[in-house]
Amino acid sequence: MYEFVSGPLVWIAFIIFIGGSLYRIYYMLSNSKKETVVFPHMSLEHSLASLVHWVIPFNNQYMRKRPIFTIVSFAFHICLVFTPIFLLAHVILLDESWNISWWSLPEGVADWMTIIVIAGCIFFLYRRLTDPVVKNVTDGSDYLLLAITALPFITGFIAYHQLFAYKTILIVHILAGEIMLIAIPFTRLSHMLFFVFTRAYFGSEQGHVKHSKDW
Amino acid sequence: MKPTIVKREPVVDDALDHCATKLTPEQIEKVVNEVIDKETGGRLWTYVNTCIHCGLCAEACQWYLSNDRDVSYAPVTKVKDTIWVMLEKKGKVDAAFIKRCSEIAHTECNVCRRCGMYCPFGIDIAYMMMVVRRICAKLEMVPLYLQDTVHSHAATMNQMWVKPDEWIDTLQWQEEEGQGYVPSARLPLEKEGAEVMYSVIGPEPKFLAQLLGNITAIMKVANIDWTMPATAGWDNSNMAMYSGDFEVMARVERLHYETAQRLKVKKIVMGECGHAFRGAEYDGPTWMGWMRPPIPLIHAISFYYDLIISGRIKIAKKAEGPITVQDPCNVIRNAGLGKKLRYIMNAVCENFVDVTPNDRHNYCCNAGGGVINVGPPWKKKRVQGNRIKAEQFKRTGAHTIVTPCHNCHSGIEDIVNTYKLGMHVKFFSEILIEAMEIPEDLQP
Ligand code: SF4
Ligand code: SF4
């Protein structure tokens, strides 16, 4: 079992993740070509301006108005993306199988980053259950996405601390990571892929075409 | 997903009520899918697949904020209750659903684009509401009064059933009014090769003719070579854009520009209106595939800014007391004229008091986006839906609100009256005409 999930399944997951992401982006772009406005409105300068204002915390009026959400959401997303990539255990695995490696996070820091991701998931879950607007637009898929996101980190945390059933938890952890990778292109986790494009378009339309700003 | 709880006082709208009884499921399915398949593309698909249901856009919407944070008015809810269902059910929805769609898109959203600016992804909910309007229009589910203005556009090429002789009569009458300020002022009709064609919206000759007298005097003082058409094509407003009848929208915009071309003018200067600017600058040209207007289009704010900053118009006596302003979404957030508006306000007002939030972050007047044009049946909801606007103005302590947009003007007047703010609502030109210096050789 361990051999399978940590061997062929990893390959399959990455192939689906990368292939699927490319396909979804291709699908979006080719569909956008059908519209009169999308490509003629694009401008590199205004796309970048929009991105700069929305990927740097507190760099737009709205984020300044919602400090707690901004801090949680930035901390969550940064940890979510960087922890798995720079986790020592992952880097070692990669080194062992392919002989490539890169810088890794000190283990204590990675541990805290994992906790931040889990805490972020709890925060978002709490919002889903309590904020009336969010609650009204939440359905099963939203909880599922939260679970898909949280599971690799929860199991990773348990496995790292060897809290119980190490071997089983490790297998679940790897599986959870693979599920997440596969889910990214085909669920609304794809906001990770589309963020750059939707921002670039809105920024371009606001800046290039309408001579205004979107922050 | 559970249905949204919607609490509204029932509104009788003869067109919606009547047309809904005639809709068939097949017709609805066909139209919904046709519009989604043929008229939308990457944007709608990406928006729906990116929206993470976070609800951050809610804080942007004046409807939501003014109705004590009633969830059913939140921008994302408006998408949930319309497009999401249509996509999920592949168009298999009933007449009652389409009626609710029209209510949401035509009477509860001003397509003001504030929420797009508050969504972390820049998801343009206003665009999606325009798609809903388009579907409703193709199903003939448009509120009665709004549809009437569209009929007027289609039949007369102006919004208000103004007849050709009435138009010319009004201009001649207002030329005389303008001569009350500046005796040598003229309102030149059909002057080929003039520098500027001046165009206005349909309601101007109908209800606010004095604005035409004002511009006659202003043009003389600024010494502008200008003209107005004596034919159809003088109206730059476009309610068909807002009903979703883009075919009529395109006819209106095309005639407006063709009229300017026939007169061989260098540019079009338009009166103080926001939606008209949007239609002529953006929605019309993009729908027709021109992308940009064939002749430069200058909004009144830019025009007055140029006149004042270049010294063609000098200010003799600034308006007294605290005066504030309404930023029209379609020329400020969606056209970037906020700084120019503030420049001209400061130029003519002794004590200009700004609003908060202001400039592109300002709240919509709630009349824009065709929402005032859905008429009296929906007025109560519209005015209640902008309480925060009343509060915003109250905080300024101003005696007058300047609204460089016709929709804002009417919408803000309703708000001032309903919330008993006791403020005057004026167009910029009404302040300017009193403040500007009339050179000695032009004086009566
Ligand atoms: S009224 Fe404006 S802020 Fe509210 S949903 Fe419509 S476009 Fe968004
Ligand atoms: S803010 Fe954007 S992503 Fe969030 S619910 Fe609104 S439209 Fe969707």
The predicted-structure confidence for B406-419, as pLDDT tens digits, reads as follows: 999 999 999 999 99
pTM: 0.96
For chain A, say whether B286 makes contact (Cβ under 8 Å).
yes
B122 falls in which pLDDT band (50, 70, 90)? very high
Tell me whether residue B1 is in a domain.
Answer: no
Tell how far the Cα of B42 is from the centroid of ligand 2, in angstroms. Answer: 17
Judge whether A136 is closer than 8 Å to chain B, CB to CB. yes
pLDDT digits (tens, 9 = 90+) for B138-185: 999 999 999 999 999 999 999 999 999 999 999 999 999 999 999 999
Task: Quote the number of domains for chain A.
Answer: 1
The residues that bridge with B324 in the sheet, in sequence order, are: B401
Does residue B383 share a domain with residue B279? no
**Would B189 be classed as within a structural domain?**
yes
User: So what's the pLDDT on residue B60?
Assistant: 96
Same domain, B95 and B49: yes
B127 touches chain A (CB under 8 A): no
CA distances in angstroms from B82 to A181, B3, B9, B135, listed in the order given: 31, 11, 20, 11
The arithmetic mean of pLDDT across residues A115-126, rounded, is 98
Let me know if residue B148 belongs to a domain.
no
Domain boundary among B267, B283, B308: B308
Find the mean pLDDT for residues B374-396.
97
Say if ligand 2 is within 6 A of residue B54 CB: yes
Asked if the model's pLDDT at residue B439 lies above 90, the reply is yes
The per-residue pLDDT for A150 is 98
Contact A188 B336 (CB under 8 A): no
Q: What confidence score (pLDDT) does residue A6 get?
A: 86
Residue B17: pLDDT over 90: yes
Is residue A36 less than 8 Å (CB to CB) from chain B?
yes
Predicted confidence at residue B273, as pLDDT, reads 96
Q: Are residues B189 and B259 in the same domain?
A: yes
**Nearest residue on chain B to A185, alpha-carbon basis:** B49
Atom 6 in ligand 1: residue holding the nearest Cα: B109
Ligand nearest, relative to CA of residue A191? 2
- Ligand 1 centre distance from Cα of residue B126 (Å): 6
* B256-280 pLDDT tens trace: 999 999 999 999 999 999 999 999 9
- Residue B3 placed within a domain: no
Q: What is the CATH number of the domain that holds A6?
A: 1.20.950.20
Q: Give the pLDDT score at A7.
A: 87
Our CA-based measurement puts residue A133 at a distance from the nearest CA of chain B, in whole angstroms, of: 5
Query: Do B325 and B411 belong to one domain?
Result: yes
Q: What is the pLDDT of residue A1?
A: 81
Residue B138 shares a structural domain with residue B232: no
pLDDT at B1 over 90: no
Are B94 and B223 within one domain? no
Assess whether B36 and B94 both reside in one domain.
Answer: yes
Give me the domain span that covers residue A29: 2-209
Domain presence at residue B289: yes
- What is the distance in A from the centroid of ligand 2 to the CA of B55? 5
The mean pLDDT of A62-72, rounded to a whole number, is: 94
Task: Identify whether residues B298 and B361 lie together within a single domain.
Answer: no
The mean per-residue pLDDT over the stretch B226-235 comes to: 97
Total structural domains within chain B = 3
- The answer as to whether B8 is a domain residue is no
From A31, A133, A198, residue closest to B122, measured CB to CB? A198
CATH for B220: 3.40.50
Nearest 10 degrees: CA dihedral of A118, A120, A121, A125? 140
Number of Cα atoms under 13 Å in the Cβ half of residue A171? 8
Q: Is A45 on the interface with B (CB under 8 A)?
A: no
For residue B315, give how far its alpha carbon lies from the nearest alpha carbon of chain A (Å).
28
Count of beta carbons in the 10 Å neighbourhood of residue B170:
17
Averaged pLDDT, B341-366 = 97
Eight-state DSSP code of residue B267? E
Mutate to test the interface with A, among B50, B277, B329 (most CBs of A within 10 A): B50
Cα gap B265→B42, rounded to integer Å: 38
Ligand 2 centroid–CA B53 distance in Å is 5
**A161, amino acid identity:** H
Asked whether residue B169 falls in the same domain as residue B36, the answer is no
Q: Is the pLDDT of residue A97 over 90?
A: no
Q: Answer whether residue A215 is part of any domain.
A: no
Q: Tell me what the pLDDT averaged over chain A comes to.
A: 95
Predicted local confidence at residue B231, as pLDDT: 96
Chain B CB contacts of A137 below 8 Å: 1, 53, 55, 76-77, 80
Q: Are residues B348 and B212 in the same domain?
A: no
Burial A17-28 (b: 16+ CB within 10 A, else e): beebbeebbeeb
Residue B432 has pLDDT above 90, yes or no: yes
Same domain, B119 and B189: no
Q: Residue B338: list chain A partners with CB under 8 A.
A: 212
Q: Does residue A214 form part of some domain?
A: no
Tell me the CATH number at B62. Answer: 1.10.1060
Query: CB distance from A214 to chain B under 8 Å?
Result: yes
Domain boundary among B308, B336, B355: B308
pLDDT at B371 over 90: yes
Average pLDDT of the residues in A52-74 = 95
- Is B152 a domain residue? no
**What is the residue range of B276's domain?**
157-308
pLDDT band at B392 (very low <50, low <70, confident <90, very high): very high
Same-domain status, B161 and B259: yes
